[in-house]
Amino acid sequence: MYSFLSFILALGFAVVHFTSKYMKFLTYIPRSGLLSVASGISVAYVFVHILPELKEHQENIEGTGMSEFFRYLDSHVYIFAMFGLCTFYGIEKAVKHSQKGVKGETSAGLFLLHMSAFFLYNMLIGYLLIHGEFESMKEWLMYFIALAVHFISNDHGLRQSHKRVYDQYGRWVLSLSVLYGWLIGILTEVSDMIIAFLFSVLAGGVILNVLKEELPEGRESNFGAFIAGAAGYTIILMLI
């Protein structure tokens, strides 16, 4: 039963990517308040749910002999979160630098790099639908809601970076990537330590992808909507 329900959620993620092309109201400047609300929800989920969970994973790792492999690292999972953030930051800088060229378009190589990074990112999200260690259906749904709206924001940014080529190819790739990650989750099983590291990389990636959409002045983001999304979802997470 849970495998079927997780597939429905993975399919829901794919539908979000596929249909984002038709959400024309999100393309306006100043930035749509709904996008800022979505960013606030994603940030709230990371700080209220994922980071406290990483603390628990860190304590579990320190209680096993496997942590000897990382004996020179004091905060294993947080370092992986930083790695996730830095990786996406480097890719975004490369894409922005490329856009300084003719017509602000990125090269085919950088498009492939960008799509490859988000393919792995989305695949991880799909994989964690199976191995995310959710304690209840509510936690599963909170995960889905937070990352579904995060996908909408990501799609908006990727479409701005790659224009028509994203709608022609990118959204198909990212739609399938979540389902591919879900399938890998069904077929494989890894240790709690690996799950901890995967969650930490996801946390770093979410933080960077939210901030790079909200902070640039050209986005004309809606601070009030961002705070409303973050505060509202924080309250929901604390009540469940």
> Do 79 and 218 contact (CB within 8 A), yes or no?
no
Name the most confidently modeled range: 52-61, 90-99, 198-207, 229-238: 229-238
- pLDDT tens-digit map of 181-216: 999 999 988 777 778 788 888 888 888 888 877 666
Q: At what angle are helices 171-187 and 2-19 packed, to 10 degrees?
A: 170
AA letter at 165: V
Average pLDDT over residues 40-56: 84
The pLDDT value given to residue 110: 81
> Do 154 and 39 contact (CB within 8 A), yes or no?
no
The pLDDT value given to residue 74: 56
The pLDDT value given to residue 65: 55
The pLDDT value given to residue 225: 86
The pLDDT value given to residue 119: 92
d(CA 130, CA 178): 12
The pLDDT value given to residue 61: 66
DSSP string, 26-86: GG-SSPPHHHHHHHHHHHHHIIIIIHHHHHHHHHHHHTSGGGGGGTT-S-HHHHHHHHHHH
Total length of the chain: 240
182's enclosing H/E stretch is helix 171-187
> Do 77 and 61 contact (CB within 8 A), yes or no?
yes
- pLDDT tens-digit map of 124-153: 999 989 887 777 788 888 999 999 988 888
- Residue 68 — very low, low, confident or very high, per pLDDT cuts 50/70/90? low
The pLDDT value given to residue 216: 61
Average pLDDT over residues 153-160: 83
Residues 6+ apart with CB under 8 A from 212: 88, 89, 92, 157
Structure tokens at 191: 């240790």
- pLDDT tens-digit map of 8-22: 999 999 998 888 777
Residue of higher predicted confidence among 25 and 3: 3
130's enclosing H/E stretch is helix 108-131
Percent of the chain with pLDDT over 90: 19
